[in-house]
Chains A and B, each alone.
Chain A
Amino acid sequence: MIINGVSIDATFAEAFPMKATRAIITAQNEKWAMISAQAMTGFATSVIACGCEGAIERVLDPSETPDGRPGVAIMIFAMGGKGLAKQLETRAGQCVLTSPTSALFSGIDGGIRTPLGKNLRYFGDGFQISKQISGKRYWRIPVMDGEFLTEATTGQVDAIGGGNFLVLAESQPQALAACEAAIDEMRKIPNVIMPFPGGVVRSGSKVGSKYKTLGASTNDAFCPTLKGMTKTDLSPEIESVMEIVIDGLTKEDIDKAMRVGIQAVCDLGAKNGIKRISAGNYGGKLGPFHFHLQEIMA
């Protein structure tokens, strides 16, 4: 398959079941909601070492938030429910509770209820106040700038992590420009996040390493500087490869995000140095969800 001179590999991205949740952070203005959201989703690029994968899903209009203030929706993914709950609580406590004028709300009504501000209430040292409004429990925790309002729980749902595609380009600036274009389009799709810095990862990994203590190491088959010294997957003209990783609530959400992302890359086309689109997998033996590039772009 070739789109606008870009070759789409006959391969697939391999993804895994995860647990996910969404939270809504509001504040006096968008600037402070964003600061809090960025803090909460900081150091959350990969479950390999961060414990979770998280990112900002989108900015919310005041008409979309529970308290009518500017807000930001964030999503967090983890390999299990317990890990997710721990990450959510720790991050909410250190990054949202502490952030001036912030309030924190559930972003998923269904699913298994997992603590959001339920245990943060103890910070109130007995001065906290519970309010049950329309069947939802909120905690009002007195803090130095006034009151921190948080919903007690949020929904935890089954999700998918690890959808991905690789952009192979003739130069590093061209690869990055293509990924930026893809991320701009993918951020318009609901229910997905691209957890790496700016949505792009330049250090794609393979399973295993020559060093026993490491479970993952550099994906040497796609490293352009190793073309002459490893079993490379790159043709001579490829000088740079970048990856976009997608976590989403459903397979359809990830399908959609991959489609618009790959399309945006292909729109730049071969004349902008984009040569191939590929994807990372482990031979289909590890992850139950397979995203076939050519099927998605058909």
Chain B
Amino acid sequence: MSALTFTLKYKPAQRVDLSPLVCNQLAGLSLADIGVIPLQSGKLKLRVDDLFTIEGSDTQDIVINSSTDNLDFIGKELDGGRISVNGDAGAYLAFGLKAGEIKVSGNVGLYAACEMKKGYLEVSGNAGDFLGAALPGNKMGMKGGTILIKGNVGERVGDHMRRGNILIEGNAGDYCGSRMTAGTIAVMGQTGRYLGYAMRRGTLLLWNQPTLSASFNDCGAHTLAFLPILFASFKSLNSRFADASIAFNRVQRYAGDMSEMGRGEVLVKL
């Protein structure tokens, strides 16, 4: 069976909600059935076959070709299977992802992997603000799984994050790990201002010394036994994180945010 492939015919004028095009919702449908599925775009409802050329048959392996940055909610609540996006993706990519994997070759917009529960998201380009965060007003961001971003990310990465790993090969914007409850965010590049703002627990693992707020306290230099195990868990990834030569277990440990619970930590490579 070949992958079920959606090739965008033209860039739509308005943003389009692609949430119906996930493996679990398309299972058992014919190409004709899939073609008539309505997609919300502004005030309009577009048919899938208006917007895409549809080929292939494997609903557990979906490919979206020529994707653009106004295709939102790709892979929303995906519950198994695989989605490959060739091009950019809009906002709310992998929203509430439950299982399976999503890979994007380009850049992604706001709130990628927002409130993600499990599974794997890989973005070859950059990601916007609120990666792995909670929706505004909600208290629980990402709850599990792994996000790998090969480029840079915007502000508020992992806002209200509770569990899982966010791995960033590039730089992270301001408020990285803000209001984090638990989990791990690793940043190979630079980080912005207000790192770990109001974080309660969780780990920010950094390759470069950040500018820390006064509410983070230096706990000294340490060799931590869990780091080799954490790095070993990245071995299967298609990433610089899988390279054994980048792993380390010697870190400077800062605890914070002391203006909050203060059980979080910023670990900086020594």
Contact = CB atoms under 8 A, between A and B. Distances in A.
B226 A138 contact: yes
A140 interface: yes
B42 interface: no
Interface stretch (B95-103, B127-135, B227-235): B227-235
Interface of B: 144, 163, 182, 184, 201, 203, 222-226, 228-230, 232-233, 263, 265
A20 B224 CA distance: 30
A100 to B, nearest CB: 13
B263 A129 contact: yes
Contacts of B224: 140, 146-147
A103 B228 CA distance: 13
Interface string A284-297: 00000000000000
Interface residues on A, range: 10 to 19
A129 B265 contact: yes
Contacts of B223: 146
A64 interface: no
Interface in A110-132: 126-127, 129-132
Contacts, number: 44
Contact of A149 (B222, B226, B263): B226
B217 to A, nearest CB: 13
Given A131-B184, A132-B163, A147 B233 contact: no
Contact of B229 (A67, A127, A130, A146): A67
A131 B229 CA distance: 10
B163 A138 contact: no
Nearest to B227: A67
20 contacts: A67-B225, A67-B226, A67-B228, A67-B229, A126-B263, A127-B263, A129-B203, A129-B265, A131-B184, A131-B203, A132-B144, A133-B226, A133-B229, A133-B230, A133-B233, A140-B224, A140-B226, A146-B224, A149-B225, A149-B229
Contacts of B226: 67, 131, 133, 138, 140, 147, 149
Interface string A146-184: 110100000000000000000000000000000000000
A91 B160 CA distance: 38
A32 B256 CA distance: 33
Contacts of B201: 129
Contacts of A140: 224-226
Given A131-B230, A138-B229, 14 more contacts: A66-B232, A67-B226, A68-B228, A68-B232, A129-B263, A131-B203, A131-B226, A132-B144, A133-B226, A133-B230, A138-B226, A146-B222, A146-B223, A149-B226
